[in-house]
Amino acid sequence: MGSRAVCGVYEIHPERVEAARAALPREAVLREAASLLKALSDPTRMRLLLALKEAGELCVCDLALLAGVSVSAVSHQLRLLRQARLVAFRKEGKQAYYRLADEHVAHLLRGALEHAEEIA
């Protein structure tokens, strides 16, 4: 029989539990972080973000071509990414150009890809 990762004895470690509890952020921050990770959980959204990381700035039409989906589908995904504060945009006439919101987003993408590479 293989080794199992469960406690052999039910024992509480109050000091460790309290230290972990004290280190937890406020509930609002936890919810925001969970929402952000949820926004990153879709392969199409990841593709869009990685394209923006590489190119710096792209219009909706460029992103649709790159992702292989319709402009309206990309617009929907970008709306979700904007709500999660992962992308920002600027308007130039009727054209909207998107970019990563800040360096934190690029850092998140790098970390996710590095972690995924370890598994693949």
Give residue limits of the domains in the chain: 14-119
Tell me the C-alpha distance between 44 and 30, whole Å. 24
pLDDT tens by residue, 50-100: 999 999 999 999 999 999 999 999 999 999 999 999 999 999 999 999 999
According to the model, what pLDDT value does residue 11 have?
87
Contact residues for 100 (Cβ-Cβ < 8 A; gap 6+)? 49, 52, 53, 86, 87, 88, 106
The top-level CATH class assigned to 14-119 is mainly alpha
